[in-house]
Amino acid sequence: MLKRLFLHYIAEETRPMLRLAIPLVLAELGWMTMAIVDTMMVGRQAHSAEAIGAVSLGSILFASAAIFGTGLMLGLDTLVSHSYGSGDIEDCHRSMVNGLYLCLAISPVLMGIIYLFERVLRHLNIPEPVLAQAIPYLRTLNWGTFPLLAFFVFRRYLQGMNLAKPVMFALISANLVNLLGNWALIYGHLGFPAMGTVGSGWSTCFSRTYMMLVLLAYSLYYDHRNKTGLRNAARLPNSLRFRKLVRLGLPAATQFGLEVGVFAVATALIARLGAVPLASHQVALNTVSFTYMVPLGISAAAAVRVGQGLGRRDADAASRAGWTAMLLGTGFMGCMALLLFLIPGPIVRIYTSDRALIPPTITLLFVAAFFQLFDGMQTVATGALRGAGDTRTPMFCHLFFYWLVGLPLGAYLCFRLGWGAPGLWTGLSVALILIGSALLYFWRRKERSFATMHFQPTPENLTPANDPTFSV
C-alpha cells in the first residue's frame, strides 16, 4: 500500500516535470555537444594531443570566470518562477530587464579576469606547443563573454515561465553553426584562412552570439503574440531587484565557480604531467560532462517546478517536484555509471584514434563510474534547493568538500604517491560522493520545512518575489 501511494505521489509530478525537463536536458546536451565538437575537430589536426590540451586549458579557464557570471543569473530561477507561479507576468519582465543590466555591469570585469589568466598560464611550466595554442584560443573565447551572459538571462526568464523549447532550439541549432564554423575556420574552407585551434574559438564565440539573438527574438515574438507587456516593462534598473538578483545569485555563482574552478586547477596540475595526460583528462572530462548535462537539465526543471509550487503556496507540489527530479536524475546517472564501467573503450574512440591516449583515458573513466550517481544527486538537489531560495548550502558544501578535501587528497595521490591523473580524479571522486550525500540530507531537511511554512496573504500588487513576509 505504501509503495502504491509513493508511486502515485511521484507519477502525479512526472509528466509535468518531464515536459519541462526534456527540452532543458536536450538544451544542456546541445551545450555540451558544442564542446565535444570543438575537441573532436581540433583533435583531427596533426599533433592532436597538443591541440586537445590547448582547448582543454582555454575552455576550463574561460569557464572558471564566465561560470561565475552565468551563476549570478541563477537568481532569476527563483524570482521568475515564483512570480510566474503567482500569476504576475509583469514581475517576470522586471527581473529579466534587471538581469540584462547585471550582465552589462559584470561582463567587462570578467573579461579583464580572463585576460589576466594568460599570465597565470605562462608560469605553470606547461609545454610550449600546448601554451602556444591555448593563449590565442582563450583570447577568442573572451569576446563571447557578454553574449553568453545575456543568453543565460533570456534562458532563465523563458524557462521560468515554462518556455523551454526555444532554449532547446537555440542550443541545438547553434551546434550546426558551430560545426560549420569549425570546419571553415580550423581547416580553411569557404574562403576563410586555416586558423587551426584559434578558429575553433572564433566559431564558439559566433555560436554564443547566435544563441543570444535567437532567445531575444523569441522573447519579443512571444510578447507580441500574447500581449504580455514586455515592451512596456520598466527599462530603468531597479536597485531593490538588482540586489535581490545578486543576493540569490552570488552564492550560486560562487558554488559554480568553486566547482568549475576545482577542475580548472586539476587541469592545470595535470598539464604539468605532459600533453598525453592532459589530453586524456580532457577526453574523460568531456565524457563525464556530457552525462552531467542530463541531471543538470533536470536540476533546472526542479528549480522551476519547486519555485512555481512555492509561488502558488502549494508546499506539497514543491516537495513532490523535488523528489521526482531526484529520482529521474539519479536513475539516469546510475545507468551512465554502468556504461562507463562496462564499455569505456568504444567511448574513448569516439574522440580520438590516438593509441597513446586510449589506455589512460579508460582508467579515468573507470574512476568516473564511481561518482556518477552522486554527481546526479548533488546536481538535482542543488536545483531543488535553488527553487526553494536556498543557494548558500550548495556553495558551502562545494567549498568544503571540493577545496578542503577532494583537491588536497587528489594532489597528494597524484604527485606524492605517483598515481598521476587518476590520483587527482580519485580525490575529486571522493569529494563528489560527500557533496551528493550532504545535499541529499539538506534537501530532505528543507522539504520537511515546507509543511510548516507560514504563507501570509499579500496585497494584490505584491508577489512572493518581492514580498518581505514570504520566506523560503
In a domain? residue 37: yes
Can you give the residue range of the structural domain that contains 119?
8-450
CB 269 within 8 A of CB 414: yes
Local confidence band at 202 (pLDDT 50, 70, 90 cut-offs): very high
Local confidence band at 453 (pLDDT 50, 70, 90 cut-offs): low
pLDDT tens digit sequence for 115-156:
888 877 777 777 777 778 888 888 999 999 999 999 999 998
**pLDDT higher than 90, residue 401:** yes
In a domain? residue 1: no
pLDDT of residue 261: 81
CB within 8 Å of 154: residues ≥ 6 apart? 96, 212, 215, 216, 218, 219
Determine the average pLDDT of the residues in 41-55. Answer: 74
pLDDT tens digit sequence for 258-289:
887 888 788 888 888 887 888 888 888 888 98
In a domain? residue 33: yes
Tally of domains within the chain: 1
pLDDT tens digit sequence for 362-389:
999 999 999 999 999 999 999 999 888 8
Mean pLDDT of the chain: 84
pLDDT tens digit sequence for 340-365:
999 888 888 877 677 778 889 999 99
In a domain? residue 2: no
CA separation for the pair 268, 56 (Å, rounded) = 10
- Percent of residues, the chain, with pLDDT higher than 90: 36
**pLDDT higher than 80, residue 212:** yes
In a domain? residue 458: no
In a domain? residue 462: no
Q: What CA–CA distances, in Å, run from 25 to 20, 233, 259?
A: 9, 30, 20
Lowest pLDDT segment from 35-44, 301-310, 355-364, 377-386: 35-44
Determine the average pLDDT of the residues in 25-46. Answer: 76
In a domain? residue 469: no
Local confidence band at 457 (pLDDT 50, 70, 90 cut-offs): very low
In a domain? residue 460: no
pLDDT of residue 127: 74
Determine the average pLDDT of the residues in 402-410. Answer: 95
Determine the average pLDDT of the residues in 417-435. Answer: 94
**pLDDT higher than 90, residue 329:** yes
CA separation for the pair 147, 24 (Å, rounded) = 19
